[in-house]
Structure 1
Amino acid sequence: MPLLMAVSSLLFYWAFAYNLVRTDYSKLIMLYTSLFVLFYNIIIHLKHNTKALTYLAFGFRAIFIFALPNLSQDFYRFIWDGRMVLEGINPYLHTVESFISQGQFPVTQAVELRAGMGDLNARHFTNYPPINQLCFTIAALFASKSILGSVIVMRLLIIAADFGTLHFGSKLLEKLKLPSHNIFWYVLNPFIIIELTGNLHFEGVMVFFLVWSIYLLYTNKWMLSGVVFALSVATKLIPLMFLPLFYQWFVFGDANIIKKTPLKLRQVSNSDVSTNDVALSKTQLALSLTPRHDLWRGMTKLIGFYAIVILTTLLLFMPFYSSEFINNYSKTVALWFGNFEFNASLYYIAREIGYLFRGYNEIAIIGKATSILVVCFVIILSFFRKNKTIIELISAMLIALSFYYFTATTVHPWYIAMLLILSVFTKYKYPLIWSFVIILSYLAYVNVNSMDKSENLLVIGVEYLIVFGVFIWEVFIKKTSSSLEA
């Protein structure tokens, strides 16, 4: 049975990679659903054979090696940026359109890349951080004249990152005494294979550095952990929102536990000691074994960790620094909060309320308000939620990021990769469900060939009805039921 499921998966992945057009919605849903059902059953059947699961993860990814991404066109911009760097041009200072509109072609295959990436990408400045740019440049270095060649190089980098995640994720699960096969809910997930390996999204590289950083943190290598955490930030900025959550871990948590040397009970006879003396000695022994925290030491390490992360991140940005860079980059990042909207949930409800009272789209105001709300929520999690163990810390990251995506104006499918990897180390499974129903977001523009380009809110509503239903069950109802039973 596992062999039959593996062969079926290989055939479906091949069809997905080489014989699927994005607008063929029926085929898209059927292939993805079939792959997800097979993925679930493969793990159930082979969860005690991690070697076989690893081989399958390699094999499924290998199918995509020579395929051009068919669900996203972002890779054309990746190639453009990498070739710009290789030409010695700062990609943050120029839009693609600024060259093409003047008849200038600074990189090889400039016209094909511009046509492939579309108007939206071409009109705006790049928003991809330095580690992303490094990956793009490596692709340009090895394939400066071939789009497919560049795709292959970037795909190999993403696959390497996935197996780095497998390595450190497995080691972390082992240390936490959690089932080792849990990591395959991420590594073998069709969502991860298709969105990261297939569609070339570098969330996989960000995830790798984050998992590696958490592993180093748990093994008490917090300084090196800070450097690696900065690499995650310099791949995608999202991990920055986790920084406040480290407060309890360093100051009151496992990172700052100090155990006293146990006292030895005096060997005495009944004739020369009273019962009270023996009780006192036992009390001293118990106190000596009780963990304590050095607050000053914890705060020093926390500040040191923050300093390492911030300084390393700034150093990685330094090669691109200029006053224009700061202006262009900040404006581009701000677009995600005040201009773009896609596959949102609570934001769309707030938008409809804005239409009702003001008569127009309030995205600029709502985007700023939700940003402030997310910051406040993360601070509350940092100080008022118990985040003292590594599992509690990871759970807090998961809840914080979920809240951000629930309120965000734009939630592209590949964003869910971070939620999925964090859930591997927790009791929550709603990100796994989301990784399945997220395929519905590709059906949002069902009127792609007509004049009506608005999203289908019914499709988005079904997606989030499922996600919120599982989320509320796991986080609130199930937890309450367990407490009542206890």
Structure 2
Amino acid sequence: MSFFSKYKDVLLIFTSTLFYFIFAYFLERTEFNKLLFLWFSLFGCFYLLMKSKTINTSTLIGLTILFRFVFLFAIPNLSQDFYRFIWDGRMIFEGLNPYLSLPENYIQKGIQPVFEAYQLYDGMGEMNGSHYTNYPPLNQLCFFIAALFASKSLFGSVIALRIIIILADIGILYFGSKLLKRLNLPVKNIFWYTLNPFIIIEMTGNLHFEPVMLFFLVWSFYKLHQQKWIWAAILIACSVSVKLIPLLFLPIFYQWFVKKEQNWFFGFKKLTGFYAIIITCTILLFLPFYSSELIANYSNSVGLWFRNFEFNASFYYIFREIGYLFRGWNEIAIIGKITPFLTILFLGSITFFRKNKSMVQLITALLFGLCFYYFTATTVHPWYLATPLILSIFTKYRFPIIWTIVIIFSYQAYANLPWKENLWYVGLEYVILYAILIFEIIKNKRVIKL
């Protein structure tokens, strides 16, 4: 037996830990070549660890925690959003409503509503600081907890936020494993999420709160499979109150309630109750922040993602080029209004014309509904992929894992100052993704009919 074969797992763990350490503390996002090397090396180690026959589940759980704790004392280096998180949390800590004011207004007037206001504003950037916050109430609660423990320390706030995200991922590991077991799927599938370098870097490293949303979502699936639909509805409302994206899923639950019941009326009654609980709980969670300006400010902030922002888009960039060709200017304002209707039509088609009675069928429908939305969206930030990734481990599809690898090409935009996308890299990302997606659809066409 060769030295490498004997100590392969130890070498993989050591190399991964070392590369995560370099990534966390010695990388600038403008260093694109270094970023690519670390990214693909970590994914290579990740794949070999997942395929190892000598590593047991307990070791994989330990690595899930170890790799995350490497980032514990690191300041995020691929995203500036955490500065706004800290700002919002400290606003609440000071008794101010974060939904009602713009950071730039305070700065322009020379007012510091929170500790380190100027540093936080410089960190979040002019674009972020000129828009109303769009983070739902339970997400704001996480920000407030960070302020509660570190209202005067940026470093302390980062650690507090990171611990919340790590705990959420541990919760996903727990309930995800239990759900996989109930579905008679390999429990090891959960590590395609928890040990994925994309998740460790983008969530734990860069402090994006998708894991908190997904913790409630996976827990709700588990409760739904136990036929405890009231608890599932409450948990989905909590998920929506961290990130709004689960709202897209609501129509697809139709068959789970209506088609599974022999009595159509009884099933529809349960579905109505399910929706009512979700809407009511979501409204109740927003109530502490309610004011006459809240709805207008929040709607305006969310609407900007459809009307103004564009990053790492897929079909939208093709539509945009067609607009330039025939109209001579960027048609984002029009295209951004059309694509949500396309998503609604697609969601309607898989809601009524596709079998979604079993949990695997339901989650598969959620996966394709969400991916269709991302394929037509004007903006697809890397951290958005956490949701399709976690959904995929309960299905026959693995293309989201490939997407989490090639999403790194989108970061080439930050190698330029000021940042500028190279559409060749964006094109490469989506060509690889769509090739894998088409291959998997053809491969599974006898099982999954879209």
CA deviation string 1:355-408 (max 9, x = no partner): 011100000100100011101111111111110100000000000000000000
Aligned to 1:267: none
Give 2:266's aligned residue.
297
Deviations 1:428-474 (CA, angstroms, capped at 9, x unpaired):
0100000000011101344325xxx5311001000000001111111
Tell me, what secondary structure is at the counterpart of 2:346? helix
Q: For 1:305 and 1:402, locate their aligned partners in 2 and report how far apart those are by CA, in whole Å.
A: 24
Task: Determine if the alignment matches structure 1 residue 427 to structure 2 residue 396.
Answer: yes
CA contact 1:416–1:431 (8 Å) conserved in 2: yes
Residue 335 of structure 2 is matched in structure 1 by: 366
Q: How does 1:142-161 map to 2 (within 5 A)?
A: 142-161=149-168
Matched letter for residue 435 of structure 1: T
The answer on 1:226 being equivalent to 2:233 is yes
The answer to whether the 8 A contact 1:73-1:116 is kept is yes
1:152-191: CA deviation from partner (whole Å, max 9, x where unpaired)? 0000000000010000000000000000100000000000
Query: What TM-score comes out, normalization by structure 1 length?
Result: 0.89
Match of 1:76 among 65, 78, 83: 83
1:99-131: per-residue Cα shift (whole Å, max 9, x none)? Answer: 010000000010110111110111111000001
Determine the structure 1 residue equivalent to 2:321. Answer: 352
Structure 2 residue aligned with 1:456: 422
Answer yes or no: is 1:309 the counterpart of 2:278: yes
Q: CA deviation at 1:49?
A: 1.4
C-alpha spacing 1:52/1:89, structure 2 compared with 1 (3 Å):
same
Matches within 5 A, 1:127-138: 127-138=134-145
Q: 1:251 aligns with which of 258, 262, 270?
A: 258
Give the unaligned 5+ runs of structure 2.
Answer: 1-7
User: Deviation string for 1:226-272 (max 9, x for gaps)?
Assistant: 0000000000000001000000001113xx3xxxxxxxxxxxxxxxx
1:43 aligns with 2:50: yes
Give yes or no for the alignment of 1:180 onto 2:190: no
TM-score (norm 2): 0.96
Match of 1:216 among 208, 217, 223: 223
Q: Deviations over 1:130-154 (max 9, x none)?
A: 0110000000000000001000000
Q: Secondary structure at the match of 1:454?
A: coil
- Give the superposition deviation at 1:481: 7.6
Q: 1:46 to 1:201 in 2, by over 3 A?
A: farther
For residue 353 of structure 1, what is the amino acid of its counterpart? I
Contact preservation (8 Å) 1:245, 1:393: yes
For the 8 Å contact 1:446–1:455, the answer to whether it is kept is no
Q: Unmatched 5+ residue regions in structure 1? A: 257-292
| Counterparts of residues 315-394 of structure 1 (less than 5 Å) | 315-394=284-363
Report the Cα offset of residue 220 of structure 1.
Answer: 0.9
Corresponding residue number in structure 2 for 1:281:
none
Calculate the aligned-residue CA RMSD, in Å. Answer: 1.2
> Is contact 2:49-2:55 (8 Å) kept?
no
Q: Distance in 2 between matches of 1:42 and 1:297?
A: 48
Aligned to 1:273: none
- Select 1:63's aligned residue among 47, 66, 70: 70
Report if the CA contact (8 A) 1:79-1:150 is conserved. yes
Contact persistence 1:169–1:211 (CA under 8 A): yes
CA contact (8 A) 1:2 1:46 kept: no
Q: CA deviation at 1:48?
A: 6.5
The answer to whether the Cα contact below 8 Å between 2:210 and 2:387 also exists between their aligned partners in 1 is yes
Structure 1 match to 2:170: 163
2:433 is the counterpart of 1:467: yes
Mapped partners of 1:200, 1:211: distance in 2: 20
Q: 1:481 and 1:162 mapped to 2: Cα distance?
A: 34
Match of 1:101 among 100, 105, 108: 108
Alpha-carbon separation, structure 2, partners of 1:200 and 1:375: 30
The separation in 1 between residues aligned to 2:83 and 2:55, in whole angstroms, is 41
- Counterpart position of 1:15: 22
Pick one of 206, 213, 234 that aligns with 2:213: 206
Q: Do the aligned residues in 2 keep the contact of 1:46 with 1:52 (CA within 8 Å)?
A: no
| Equivalenced residues, count | 441
Q: Decide whether the 8 Å contact of 1:444 with 1:459 is kept in 2.
A: no
Kindly indicate whether the alpha-carbon contact (under 8 Å) linking 1:250 and 1:301 is maintained by their aligned counterparts in 2: yes
Distance verdict in 2 for CA 1:211–1:344, change over 3 Å: same
Query: Structure 2: how far apart are the matches of 1:249 and 1:390?
Result: 8
Contact 1:162 1:208 in 2 (8 A): yes
Q: CA deviation at 1:480?
A: 4.4
More displaced 10-residue stretch of structure 1: 301-310 or 42-51: 42-51
The equivalent of 1:479 in structure 2 is 444
